[in-house]
């Protein structure tokens, strides 16, 4: 992938939004988001244009800090722009890109809170950057806790390329969407009918029809937005064959994704009042173990530093509860297979549990 061409394409796409026109309409929120993208792009452009230059250690460190922070600000600006144009931050799905999902942890480790990392944890952690490891394209740092030390090697070029590929696709779709005026009533009817009748034998055919008509309206097939991702996630749940998962759990997990599609299309929440036995028993377990409540959010992301620690804590607490152990074992097996999307899907009901 030619990074320089990606950067140039990004600049042209930002220009097409016509910042002066938004400014004249006093649409300062859009102007602010676009200006943030323009400014941070200058930092990222400098990175791509000086890859082969020799730099002193002080320059390398300044550029490393600037690059990590600029990418973080850029993504924040993208979320805001997507919300302002589409009416929902659910349109953007950068967090599903593995490289960019890790960016949040890397930035927080190195630039955000290196001297006192992850303060919400029961165990303090500290980031130690090996300044001698910093080159134009990579660096190494340690995350040190009392219990262990983890060494992390970071390649910057794939991180920046992933940002531009995702961003350029998103900006193209947002440009198209900004000219749309057709309502979502028909799509709302389609997804509402699917949710009302689910589970039923041919729901995937109706889902494919919804997906086709959504693409026809929005023209976003190449964008990694949340509608496309959740549609693909449902298909992935259905096609998973490595081990058998109980139908009541699988159906609840799929329904939750259908409800998310409904929310994306209608900007309204669709509530389910009942669950199958597996989730009912998990919620009963959660109500009896409320000290685990805050940690439940870590189970949705198998790349999170506290995923394994949290999962093991839940498993240990549920050692005498066969049905709860079954549910947690499903998540553990999916993580062992590296199925990060499915880990998210099956852990989402736990994350959604309310006290």
Please give the Cα distance from 168 to 152 (Å, whole number): 28
% pLDDT > 90, the chain: 32
Please give the Cα distance from 256 to 30 (Å, whole number): 32
Angle at 163 between CA 159 and CA 165, to 5 degrees: 115
Say what the pLDDT of residue 168 is. Answer: 87
Position of tokens 């759990």? Answer: 249
Domain ranges (residues) in the chain: 3-177, 185-266, 277-351
- Judged against a pLDDT cut of 50, whether residue 140 lies above it is answered with yes
Please give the Cα distance from 165 to 10 (Å, whole number): 9
Closest C-alpha to 30, from 256, 50, 38, 235: 38
Say what the pLDDT of residue 105 is. Answer: 80
Mean pLDDT lowest for which of 36-40, 83-87, 317-321, 344-348?
Answer: 83-87
Mean pLDDT lowest for which of 96-110, 171-185, 226-240, 279-293?
Answer: 171-185
Average of per-residue pLDDT values in the chain: 84
> Per-residue pLDDT averaged across 153-177, rounded?
84
Closest C-alpha to 7, from 159, 167, 135, 156: 167
Cross-strand pairs, 229: none
> Per-residue pLDDT averaged across 14-41, rounded?
84
Residue of higher predicted confidence among 226 and 196? 196
Answer whether 17's CB lies under 8 Å from 11's CB. no
Task: Give 180's pLDDT tier (boundaries 50, 70, 90).
Answer: very low
3-class SS of residue 128 = strand
Say what the pLDDT of residue 182 is. Answer: 45
Task: Give 181's pLDDT tier (boundaries 50, 70, 90).
Answer: very low
Task: Give 95's pLDDT tier (boundaries 50, 70, 90).
Answer: low
Answer whether 33's CB lies under 8 Å from 125's CB. no
CA distances for 76 relative to 70, 167, 258, 263, 310, angstroms:
10, 12, 27, 22, 28
Answer whether 89's CB lies under 8 Å from 82's CB. yes
Say what the pLDDT of residue 45 is. Answer: 85
Tokens read off for 178: 């900004």
Please give the Cα distance from 218 to 214 (Å, whole number): 6
> Per-residue pLDDT averaged across 27-40, rounded?
88
Say what the pLDDT of residue 85 is. Answer: 77
Cross-strand pairs, 140: 130, 153
Residue of higher predicted confidence among 225 and 171? 171
Residue of higher predicted confidence among 248 and 97? 248
Q: What digits encode the pLDDT tens for the residues 36-66? A: 888 888 888 888 888 888 888 898 889 889 8
- Judged against a pLDDT cut of 60, whether residue 151 lies above it is answered with yes
Closest C-alpha to 108, from 146, 154, 164, 40: 154
3-class SS of residue 189 = helix
CA distances for 120 relative to 111, 254, 354, angstroms:
18, 31, 20
Tell me which H or E stretch contains 324. helix 322-336
Task: Give 265's pLDDT tier (boundaries 50, 70, 90).
Answer: confident
Residue of higher predicted confidence among 201 and 96? 201
Q: Is the peptide bond before 246 cis (omega within 30 degrees of 0)?
A: no
């Amino acid at each position: 992938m030619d990074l320089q061409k990606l950067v140039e394409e990004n600049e042209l796409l930002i220009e097409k939004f016509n910042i002066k026109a938004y400014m004249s309409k006093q649409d300062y929120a859009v102007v602010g988001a676009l200006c943030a993208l323009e400014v941070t792009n200058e930092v990222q452009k400098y990175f791509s244009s000086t890859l082969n230059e020799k730099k002193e250690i002080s320059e390398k460190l300044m550029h490393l800090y600037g690059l990590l922070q600029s990418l973080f600000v850029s993504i924040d600006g993208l979320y805001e722009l997507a919300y302002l144009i589409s009416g929902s931050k659910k349109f953007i799905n950068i967090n599903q890109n593995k490289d960019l999902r890790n960016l949040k942890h890397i930035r927080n480790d190195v630039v955000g809170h290196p001297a006192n990392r992850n303060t919400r944890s029961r165990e303090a952690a500290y980031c130690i950057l090996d300044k001698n490891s910093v080159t134009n394209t990579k660096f190494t740092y340690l995350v040190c806790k009392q219990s262990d030390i983890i060494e992390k090697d970071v390649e910057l070029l794939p991180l920046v390329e992933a940002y531009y590929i995702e961003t350029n696709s998103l900006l193209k779709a947002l440009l198209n969407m900004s000219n749309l005026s057709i309502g979502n009533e028909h799509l709302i009817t389609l997804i509402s009918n699917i949710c009302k009748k689910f589970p039923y034998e041919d729901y995937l055919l109706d889902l494919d029809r919804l997906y086709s008509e959504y693409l026809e309206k929005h023209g976003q097939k190449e964008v990694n937005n949340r509608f496309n991702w959740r549609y693909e996630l449902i298909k992935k749940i259905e096609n998973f064959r490595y081990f058998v998962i109980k139908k009541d759990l699988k159906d609840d997990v799929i329904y939750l994704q259908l409800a998310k599609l409904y929310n994306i299309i209608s900007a309204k929440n669709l509530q389910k009042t009942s669950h199958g036995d597996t989730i009912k028993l998990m919620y009963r377990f959660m109500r009896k173990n409320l000290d685990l409540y805050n940690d439940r959010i870590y189970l949705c992301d198998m790349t999170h530093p506290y995923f394994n620690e949290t999962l093991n804590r839940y498993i240990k607490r549920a050692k005498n509860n066969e049905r709860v152990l079954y549910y947690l074992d499903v998540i553990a097996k999916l993580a062992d297979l590296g199925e990060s999307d499915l880990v998210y899907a099956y852990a989402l009901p736990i994350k959604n549990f309310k006290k």
